Amino acid sequence: MKKYYKTITLALFAAALMIGAPYIKNTGHCGADLTIAFTGAILGCSGEKETGTSDNSSNSSAAVASDNKNAGEVKNAQKAELKVTFVELGSVNCIPCKMMQPVMKQVETTYPGQVKIVFHDVWTDQGRAEGMKYNIRVIPTQVFLDKNGMEYFRHEGFFSFEEVDKILKQKGVK
């Protein structure tokens, strides 16, 4: 039993990190936390979290208009009759994030003028700030904002076009 002590200890420690990592807030200076290192890099996905309802009622999600850059995104979306802003938070060096590129392109070509796509590379200085603002836990993370700039859905990990399409249609994208 003694000769397996180190192996068992390491296995338990790794399991504890995997289970507890989604609850650890980002405190690192490099923008990556244990969740991204373990869950995002190894699994590439941690599931999804719906942050609101699919109707037009207001919810407790924070408005994006508090940030000047995002306020501009929302104003532009309203002027062009956009129905949804699709914010992709990831990296150009992350495998599941790279897999999202064709999905974003397909959304852009399928719904011109209805969906605005914004990509932030969270492994850069500017993108890191966006990742912290949206309080992401893993990459890639997709955040869907309604025409008023309110978050109505969030997903972590790779998200297929078919699934993205269902979320977009909740806000009347045709």
Read off the tokens for 19.
């289970």
Q: Are residues 65 and 144 in the same domain?
A: yes
How many other C-beta atoms are found inside a 10 Å radius of the C-beta of residue 118?
17
Q: Are residues 14 and 59 in the same domain?
A: no
Nearby residues of 97 by Cβ (< 8 Å), 6 or more positions away? 88, 90, 91, 139, 140
**pLDDT-based confidence at 60, cuts 50/70/90?**
very low
- pLDDT tens figures, 9-20: 555 444 444 444
Q: Are residues 84 and 7 in the same domain?
A: no
Q: Are residues 57 and 125 in the same domain?
A: yes
Distance, in Å, from the CA atom of 38 to the CA atom of 36, rounded to the nearest integer, reads 6
Q: Are residues 92 and 154 in the same domain?
A: yes
Q: Are residues 56 and 91 in the same domain?
A: yes
Residues 17, 41: contact at Cβ < 8 Å? no
- pLDDT tens figures, 126-174: 999 999 999 999 999 999 999 999 999 999 999 999 999 999 999 999 8
Q: Which residue has the higher pLDDT, 71 or 93?
A: 93
Q: Are residues 79 and 35 in the same domain?
A: no
Q: What is the pTM of this model?
A: 0.57
Q: Are residues 113 and 61 in the same domain?
A: yes
* Predicted local distance difference test score (pLDDT) of residue 106: 97
The residue written with tokens 């992350």 in the block is 94
Q: Are residues 7 and 58 in the same domain?
A: no
* Predicted local distance difference test score (pLDDT) of residue 53: 38
**Is the model's pLDDT at 96 over the cut of 90?**
yes
- Domain housing 60: 45-169
Run of H or E residues at 145: strand 141-145
What are the residue ranges of helices labelled H in the chain? Answer: 5-20, 34, 68-79, 95-110, 125-133, 161-169
Distance, in Å, from the CA atom of 123 to the CA atom of 91, rounded to the nearest integer, reads 6
Q: Are residues 10 and 61 in the same domain?
A: no
* Predicted local distance difference test score (pLDDT) of residue 57: 34
Q: Are residues 20 and 50 in the same domain?
A: no
Q: Do the domain assignments include residue 174? A: no
Looking at every residue in the chain, the average pLDDT score rounds to: 71
- Give percent of the chain above pLDDT 70: 54
Q: Are residues 141 and 81 in the same domain?
A: yes
**Is the model's pLDDT at 43 over the cut of 60?**
no
Pairing between β-strand 47-49 and β-strand 151-156 as defined by DSSP bridges? antiparallel
Total of domains in the chain: 2
**Is the model's pLDDT at 41 over the cut of 80?**
no
